[in-house]
A and B are shown apart, each in its own frame.
Chain A
Amino acid sequence: MSSRRSRSRQSAGVSRISDDQISDLVSKLQQLIPETSINRSRSDKVSATKVLHETCNYIRKLHREVDNLSDRLSELLEMDSAQAEIIRSLLM
């Protein structure tokens, strides 16, 4: 079985990755992203372009969530330090 690269890359010296391996990873990603996995069976193919696109959107969304949560956490840190003291001692 010959394997060919799905796009020309200059990664000489690295073992050839087959199209199958790539599409395998893409479908794994598809399962991870809510947008592309909900109400879809594993065999339903979503185009690779769409999977990548939704992956980027999903990562951006997660980044924004982290920003948001960091903001809330930093506000909590600023608050009542006696309360924080209690929580800290509980968590230790």
Chain B
Amino acid sequence: MTSDHISSLRNPSSIKTRFAHRFVLALKKLSMDRASSSVSMADRYKRYRKVRAAAYASMASSVGPKRAWARALLRKIRNRKMGSNLMKRLGSRTGLLKKRTVLKPRNHREMGSEQENSLRELVPGGEGMEFYRLLNETGHYIKCLRAQVKVMKNIIDLYSN
């Protein structure tokens, strides 16, 4: 893996464009698939979850496999999706199957500082990384999150006028 510097990011505007394109396509798909006019609380919540997952997935796909956080994020979203599909089929007796990740016992926690541990939890894929890598990935992740928020705001403005 090449060592990326935070400064040598790809052009931010092309990330925004790629993300916007993917995300709008995903939204289009969502609005067609579901009974998009359903107002029940459960359906609303499901729709919200799907929109949010689509946003993160679109961003992670636009970033591509070079970034560990993007790979980890896509993995997480796919796992969740598979898990929920499984739940739908198996019905209510799937309480045990919900946990897909094994939690580390507290006394085996990393030796890092409290901040470092919090950061690891916040950045996708942060758990297994060496500290230097974590900092690097964090910088990129933040830039992409910001772009994501900007684009989402723009789309909302477009839709609500």
List residues of A whose CB falls within 8 A of some B CB: 6-9, 11, 14, 17, 21-22, 25-26, 28-29, 32-33, 49, 52-53, 55-56, 58-60, 62-63, 65-67, 69-79, 81, 84, 87-88, 91
Contacts and interface: CB of A to CB of B under 8 A. Distances in A.
B118 interface: yes
Contact of B149 (A9, A55, A62): A62
Interface stretch (B11-19, B25-33, B81-89): B25-33
Given A21-B132, A56-B115, A81-B37, A66 B142 contact: no
Given A66-B152, A78-B36, A60 B145 contact: no
A81 B31 contact: yes
The 10 A-B pairs of least Cβ separation, nearest first, read A52-B115, A70-B52, A25-B135, A69-B152, A74-B47, A62-B145, A74-B48, A17-B132, A74-B51, A70-B51
B46 to A, nearest CB: 9
Given A49-B115, A66-B52, A67-B52, 15 more contacts: A7-B131, A9-B131, A22-B135, A25-B136, A29-B142, A52-B115, A52-B116, A59-B119, A59-B138, A60-B122, A71-B48, A71-B51, A74-B44, A77-B31, A81-B37
Q: Interface range on chain B: under 10, 10 to 19, 20 to 34, or 35 or more?
A: 35 or more
A60 B52 CA distance: 15
Interface string B106-147: 000001110110110011000000111001101101110110
Interface of A is mostly: helix
Nearest to B151: A69
B97 interface: no
